[in-house]
Structure 1
Amino acid sequence: MKHPSRPLSPFLGRILLVLSGLIVSAACVHAETLNLVYPRPVSAFDHRSEYPLKLLELALAKSGTAFTLRASTAVMNKARVADELALGREINVAWMVTSREREARLLPVRICVFKGLGGWRIALVRQKDLPLFAKVRTLKDLQKLAAGQQLDWPDTAILRASAIPVETSSSYDSLFAMLTNGRFSWFPRSIPEIWAEAQSHKGQGLVVEPHLLVRYPSAYYFFVNRRDERIAWLIESGLERSIKDGSFDKLFLEYHGDVLARAKIRDRVIIDLPNPFLPPQTPLARKELWFHSEHARTR
């Protein structure tokens, strides 16, 4: 027998309305999965992306958003990375040293990925040139020795602003060959980078110089397109949570604790350089964002 249809009770109607809302919300969450594309490493020997990528994953996980991460199809230098981000094309997130120009074109997340260590530079040199660097005590001494840098790195302008001669290349990989061939005397590398690079190129007679540390204020940020404010906010909120709960520092030391000990900062002569290109918005006053070595000797 067919029963006549009856209207839903108000109570049951409210339950169905709530359930419908939950289903719609779940669908929206799924639909709003954040799909991020970052620059592919420039070579098989380039391990510089490992830690920033892990930190980005940590920040996004802490933000509570669903996300995917994948490398770009193309390999690109920093100039192209900035162009692709600014134009909203192949990538939508990257990590780079900041500068006034980059912050004018792109949207930075002003929490330094490397806690300022990008401006703590140790020299990769030819083993036979080690005696040259053992004599360096002052900036005047250093100005006699040409450095090598990539043309589009902000560090190139920082070094030149202190009258340090710089030879440049448009290719990261070619800089190691140029150093091996004596085109310049030293390749300034950050503490997080240099040990892996020295290991990768040990067959070329390149070694980590044990005597000197060149230091200048620098910040290495995650950048996005200026229209991608939501992406920037999610990364920033996740980083802030990771700073607060200690997971940022835990990851930082997991990747860099050994190399910091290996660098023996307190045994090095430290030459401090100014960075006239550092944006004024850099949060230098937030001490928790930066690495400190209170007992390091300075010159």
Structure 2
Amino acid sequence: MVFNSAHKKSVIYLTLIVLLLSPGVALKAHANDIRILAPRAKIDPVYDYFIELTRLVLSKSEHLYPKSKLVFVAHDDVTQGRSLMLLEDNYVDILWTGTNARRELRYLPVRIPLFRGLLGYRVLLIRQEDKEKFLQIKAPEQLKKLNACQGAHWPDSDILEANGYLVSRVVHFNAMFKMLAKKRCDYFPRAIFEGYAEQRITMQKYPNVILMDELILHYNFPIYYFVEKNNTVLAKRLDSGLKTALDDGSLMNLMRTHRVSKHLFPLEKWQGKRYFELSNDILGSDLSLKNQQFWLNLKAQ
């Protein structure tokens, strides 16, 4: 059955309305509540890091703003594209996601990378039996012959394709692990802080999926807080809290001690890896790139 674009949009909005009116959805009880999405999937170990970071950031300015608390909005594995629709329609107040020029025009970004640029360092989830094949890859042209699983709405998919890589775009996050295990794609690039935890979680269900960090894809790709376009008060609070956390060292301390990122340290151990550099032209004129205080360079440690 073929749907026209207007029908597709109506179906999406009807789905969201049913979702948000269903039991268990957390809406604002108080005007100062800050609403965020509950975990998007069973395989989402990085979610807890961003919750702790958000609480840390808000704590840096709590003396300047009315008392508030985080409220978690339940959902049925909402995709990244639909998550942004929820932000635009004022069902949630904060999202953290990778940026691109379109998102920065439509929403209000807080231009400080939440993982200091490490979102753009991508290790590879692969099948155990393919490990030797990947170890023999010495040039990008070899990897470009293989097929990567990536999210349908992820800017990563656009970046990979713009650099000549083959991509299978997948709507649902959990499905990518199954596709990899069942040989429907060859590898699944994950951020350096995501892949290890996700592989540990999925190994019981997909024991043939392993992580390879000898080869790393790299492109400039920050993950930002986004708020609704007119919510300048919240954006200012997040910006101030992040800068304070950077200046006083508490952001780096969270990265060093949190279970999802502590394995990255010491950073010097990443110097000897093979890196394939990709350009990211979808950033536009990203101001955060000019402030080196915000970024970590694993190759230069």
Same fold, judged at TM 0.5 (above): yes
- Counterpart code for 2:106: R
Q: Does 1:248 align with 2:246?
A: no
* Counterpart-to-counterpart distance in 1, 2:102 and 2:211: 32
Q: Distance in 1 between matches of 2:169 and 2:183?
A: 13
Aligned to 2:291: 286
**CA-CA distance at 1:215 after TM superposition:** 0.2
User: Which amino acid in structure 2 is aligned with residue 46 of structure 1?
Assistant: D
1:236 to 2:234 alignment:
no
User: Is 1:214 aligned to 2:217, yes or no?
Assistant: yes
- Which string of whole-angstrom CA distances, capped at 9 and with x for unpartnered residues, describes residues 114-169 of structure 1? 11000000000010011111111111111111100010000000000111000111
Deviation of 1:264 after TM superposition, in Å, equals: 4.3
How many residues are matched? Answer: 265
1:43 Cα deviation after fit: 2.0
1:78 maps to what in 2?
80
Deviates more, 1:143-152 or 1:41-50: 41-50
Give 5+ residue unaligned stretches, structure 1: 1-30
Q: How many angstroms apart in 2 are the aligned matches of 1:151 and 1:183?
A: 15
Equivalent residue for 2:275, pick from 241, 255, 270: 270
Indicate conservation of the 8 Å contact 2:268/2:298, yes or no. Answer: no
State the match for 1:124 in structure 2: 125
Deviation string 1:150-209 (CA, Å, 9 cap, x unpaired) is 100000000001110001110000000000011111000001101111001113111011
> CA separation in 1, counterparts of 2:186 and 2:92?
35
Deviation of 1:45 (Å): 2.5
Gaps of 5+ in 2: 1-28
- C-alpha separation between the residues in 2 aligned to 1:260 and 1:249? 11
Q: Does the 8 Å CA contact 1:133/1:211 hold for their aligned counterparts?
A: no
Pairs within 5 Å for 1:129-140: 129-140=130-141
Instruction: Compare 141-150 and 255-264 and name the one that shifted more.
Output: 255-264
Deviation of 1:84 after TM superposition, in Å, equals 1.1
Residue 109 of structure 1 corresponds to which residue in structure 2? 110
> Does 2:3 match 1:42?
no
Q: CA separation in 2, counterparts of 1:171 and 1:220?
A: 20
Identity %: 28
Between the aligned partners of 1:130 and 1:263, the Cα distance in structure 2 is: 24
Give TM-score scaled by structure 1 length: 0.84
Q: How does 1:175-194 map to 2 (within 5 A)?
A: 175-194=176-195
Write the distance in 1 (CA, Å) between the matches of 2:45 and 2:71. Answer: 16
Counterpart of 2:52 in 1: which secondary structure? helix
Does the 8 Å CA contact 1:60/1:238 hold for their aligned counterparts?
yes
Q: Identify the range of structure 1 (256-265 vs 64-73) with the bigger mean alpha-carbon deviation.
A: 256-265
Structure 1 residue 262: Cα displacement: 9.2
Q: Is the 8 A contact 2:270 2:299 kept in 1?
A: no
How far residue 295 of structure 1 moved from its aligned partner, in angstroms, is 3.9
Distance 1:254 1:162 in 2: 35
Aligned-partner Cα distance in 2 for 1:261–1:133: 25
Residue 102 of structure 1: how far off its partner (Å): 0.7
CA distance in 2 between partners of 1:260 and 1:282 (Å): 27
Are the aligned partners of 2:267 and 2:298 in contact in 1 as well (CA < 8 Å)?
A: no
TM-score by length of 2: 0.84
After superposition, the C-alpha distances for 1:44-79 in whole angstroms (9 at most, x for unaligned) are 231121111111111111012322102112131110
Structure 2 SS opposite 1:267: coil
* Alignment RMSD (CA, Å): 1.8
Answer whether contact 1:63 1:238 (CA < 8 A) is retained. Answer: yes
Q: Distance in 2 between matches of 1:159 and 1:260?
A: 27
- Residue in structure 2 matched with residue 20 of structure 1 by the alignment: none
Q: C-alpha distance in 2, partners of 1:210/1:287?
A: 25
